[in-house]
Amino acid sequence: MSTPTGLARTPEPPYYAVIFTSRRTEGDRGYATMAARMDELGRTYDGFLGLDSARGADGVGITVSYWRDEAAILAWKRDAEHERAQRAGQQTWYDDYLVRIAKVERAYGKPQG
Amino acid sequence: MSTPTGLARTPEPPYYAVIFTSRRTEGDRGYATMAARMDELGRTYDGFLGLDSARGADGVGITVSYWRDEAAILAWKRDAEHERAQRAGQQTWYDDYLVRIAKVERAYGKPQG
């Protein structure tokens, strides 16, 4: 679980990553509230391993969530509240987005010391 | 190839993603110049498919680069100029970072219309 400004720590690979790249429309229109709720709700799902998220001043954002397996990703995708958020995302919050499902094969961090 | 505020467009999977999450130290210390140069240089490598990058006000950044295969990733990792940037990243620019190498299996975008 990540701290507010920390990076997600995940177990040894293999595991899955969902790479969500997006470009926001202008104005909040309920986005911040939804994003906080989806963060909270997603973390309760079995198989959730962590999440990293960043959005720059140009409106381009990247959220990567980490999952034990594809079944866990699918269960979260089909969550009823999440499905409503996905529809609102298509219609209101995102000019553009792409979702990539990837199997993490190797990982390494900053050398210690 | 992405436009400055667009999202990277990639061919049909499978291909590879390098997910680089990082937390910057305070101050620029040559970072912006290096980042622009690495962006320019990485794109010249055979097998480079695209790149998305975002950094929020909290200092957490995510850069995802897309590659044809693992050999292309390794060739870029071993570029001499890139190796110098990696060492400076460890020593100067990043409080913390993680690199994950993942095989993209599925991808979908915002429905058109």
Looking at the predicted structure, is the pLDDT value of residue A1 above 70?
no
Q: From CA B101, how far away is CA B79, in angstroms rounded?
A: 17
Q: Where are the beta strands (DSSP E) in A31-93?
A: 48-55, 60-67
User: How confident is the model over A28-70, as pLDDT tens digits?
Assistant: 999 999 999 999 999 999 999 999 999 998 999 999 999 999 9
pLDDT at A93: 96
Cβ within 8 Å of A, B 67-106: 90, 94, 96-106
DSSP state of A14: P
pLDDT at A2: 42
Question: Taking Cα atoms as reference points, which of A36, A98, A16 lies closest to residue B19?
Answer: A16
Supply the pTM of this predicted model.
Answer: 0.94
Q: From CA A14, how far away is CA A4, in angstroms rounded?
A: 25
User: Which residues does chain B have with pLDDT short of 70?
Assistant: 1-5, 113
Q: From CA A58, how far away is CA B94, in angstroms rounded?
A: 22
From the list A58, A101, A110, which residue is nearest B94 (CB)?
A110
Structure tokens that stand for A22 in this block? 């997006």
From the list A17, A54, A97, which residue is nearest B54 (CB)?
A54
Cβ within 8 Å of A, B 5-44: 5-8, 10, 13, 17, 19, 21-23
Judging by beta carbons within 10 Å of its beta carbon (0-12, 13-18, 19+), is residue A53 exposed, middle or buried?
buried
pLDDT at B1: 42
pLDDT at A29: 94
Q: From CA B39, how far away is CA A73, in angstroms rounded?
A: 31
